[in-house]
Amino acid sequence: MKKENLTVADLTMGAGGMLGQSLMDKVANRLIGDIENGKYELGQQIPSINVLARELDMARDTVERAYRKLRSLGYVKSVPGSGYFVCRPRESGNAKVLCLTDRLTDEKQALYNEVTRALGGQDNVDLQTFQNRFTLDSIILNYSDKYQYFVLITVDATQLQNETMWLSLRNLPADKVIVLGPEIFPFSPLAHIYQDGRRDVFNMLMAQKERLTGLYQELVLLSAQDYLVPLSIREALFAFCCNAGIKFRWSNSYTECLAAGTLFITYHDEELFNLLNQLRTTDLAIGKDVGIITFNDNIFKEFLNLTVITPDFKQAGKAISGIVNGEQEGRICNPYQMILRSSI
């Protein structure tokens, strides 16, 4: 018996209660209905993207995003060189996503939490950490067929680390990989959510130039090693100091730089905790004698009234949700924001 095909009339007349939906959602939902109603059987090939786009006189990109949504929901699988075939949808009805990171910092934990929230909870999103390329290769080998998307959270990686991770990611189809990291990455994934720390941090500090130069004569970046702070952040801090006429230095010592007129920048919370403990032994007042700007907001920093520079974690989570649902792809900028509090 000949199976009925999806038609333009089905979409424009809102077949199946689809009025008000985007064209991409209408195509995806109608195909899902066809699969669930048995018009396309398990293992059967569905029309190619190009064929369906021609039949519907629709942009290929719209149909491609619809097919990607079907794949993320588990209704079809892509066979390179052959096309899309019907497979058994997962009972949860949601895409399974694996987040990958080399070490779990506060920033990465916050990003993971927002991704989990945006995608409907921990049943749909898992997290794996890796120590080197070999453990990343092992994770990809063991889990490549168990997840529809892999989110690499690499916001503070060096260029060498990114290049090393790229060698492992080549073992995954590019349209299953989402990178959340620096602006430049040696790989072309399905989507790249990047942060432009060099631009954002410099501009935010410049917006506070008059305030900062009136209080502080030196900016000190506290870190056990300078390379542990992303290069884009270090460059932004140095550029601001050159423009504002403030002395800049990096230090891993908390005692030698405890002086009035100093603005401290901490990227990792360990340095922040040590700095606060050292300041307790002095008469220096935070926000008056010395200033503190730290990265990545949390309840603790809000309670202590610390000024923070932080990515928009919620926006990043929503962006990844949009990618998984076939609504977005390509390069997406996730901006930093400064939350001013009494520490400067």
User: What Cα–Cα distance (Å) separates residue 66 from each residue in 24, 26, 30, 86, 249?
Assistant: 5, 8, 10, 14, 52
β pairing state of 177-182 and 307-311? unpaired
Task: Report pLDDT for 341.
Answer: 97
103-120 mean pLDDT: 82
Residues 188 and 319 in one domain: yes
pLDDT band at 163 (very low <50, low <70, confident <90, very high): low
Rounded-to-5 percentages of helix, strand, coil across the chain: 40, 20, 40
Residue 14 in this model has a pLDDT that exceeds 70: no
For residue 92, tell me if it sits in a domain.
no
- 70 in Cβ contact with 24 (< 8 Å): no
Distance CA 234, CA 173 (A): 34
Whether 301 contacts 308, CB under 8 Å: yes
Residue 182 CA from chain centroid, whole number: 10
Query: 328: helix, coil or strand?
Result: coil
Q: Supply the pLDDT for residue 154.
A: 78
The mean pLDDT of 215-233, rounded to a whole number, is: 88
At residue 225 the predicted structure's pLDDT band, cuts being 50, 70 and 90, is confident
Q: Are residues 204 and 188 part of one domain?
A: no
pLDDT average, residue stretch 264-280: 93
Q: What is the arithmetic mean of pLDDT over 127-152? A: 86
Domain membership of residue 219 (yes or no) is yes
Q: How many CA atoms lie less than 13 Å away from 221 in the CB half-sphere? A: 24
Last residue of a domain, one of 86, 112, 130: 86
- The reply to whether 204 and 289 lie within a common domain is yes
For residue 57, being part of any structural domain is answered with yes
Question: Beta partners for 295?
Answer: 309
Query: Is 202 inside a domain boundary?
Result: yes
Tell me what the pLDDT averaged over the chain comes to: 84
**303 Cβ contact partners less than 8 Å away, ≥ 6 residues apart:** none
Instruction: Please check whether residues 190 and 321 belong to one and the same domain.
Output: yes
Q: CATH number for the domain including 290?
A: 3.40.50.2300
Same domain for 115 and 167, yes or no, is: yes
Q: Does residue 130 sit in the same domain as residue 75?
A: no
Q: Would you say residue 308 lies in a domain?
A: no
* 61 and 187 share one domain: no
Domain boundary residue, one of 86, 119, 147: 86
* pLDDT of 5 strictly over 60: no
- 336: enclosing H helix or E strand: strand 336-339
Q: Which pLDDT value is given to residue 339?
A: 96
| Radius of gyration over every alpha carbon of the chain, rounded to an integer in angstroms | 25
From CA 138, how far away is CA 4, in angstroms rounded? 44
- Look at the block and give the residue holding tokens 């990227």: 267
Structural domains counted in the chain: 3
pLDDT for res 17: 43
Q: What pLDDT is attached to residue 204?
A: 97
- The one-letter code for the residue type at 139 is I
Residue 239 lies in a domain: yes
Residues 42, 66 within the same domain: yes
**Which distant-in-sequence residues (6+ apart) come within 8 Å of 299 by Cβ?**
none
Q: Please, are residues 154 and 128 in contact by the beta-carbon 8 Å criterion?
A: no
Owning domain of residue 284: 198-295
* pLDDT tens per residue across span 180-207: 877 766 667 778 888 888 999 999 999 9
Flag whether 300 is in a domain. no
Give me the pLDDT at residue 214, please: 94
287-332 pLDDT tens trace: 999 999 999 888 899 999 999 999 888 888 889 888 887 777 788 9
* Cβ neighbours, 10 Å, residue 42: 10
Residue 47's nearest CA partner among 59, 64, 61 is: 64
pLDDT value, residue 155:
63
In a domain, residue 342? The reply is: no
Same domain? For 209 and 272 the reply is yes
Closest Cα to residue 124, out of 101, 103, 93, 151? 93
Q: Are residues 219 and 290 in the same domain?
A: yes
Geometric angle at alpha carbon 45, from 39 and 50, rounded to 5°: 105
Question: Percent of the chain scored above 90 by pLDDT?
Answer: 33
Residue 226 is given by DSSP the state: G
How far apart are the C-alpha atoms of 223 and 80, rounded to whole Å?
Answer: 47
Q: Which residues contact 214 (CB under 8 A, 6 or more apart)?
A: none
Q: Give the pLDDT score at 1.
A: 37
**Domain final residue pick, 86, 115, 135:** 86
> Residue 261 above 50 pLDDT?
yes
250 and 124 within one domain = no
Q: Give the pLDDT of residue 304.
A: 95
Residues 119 and 55 in one domain: no
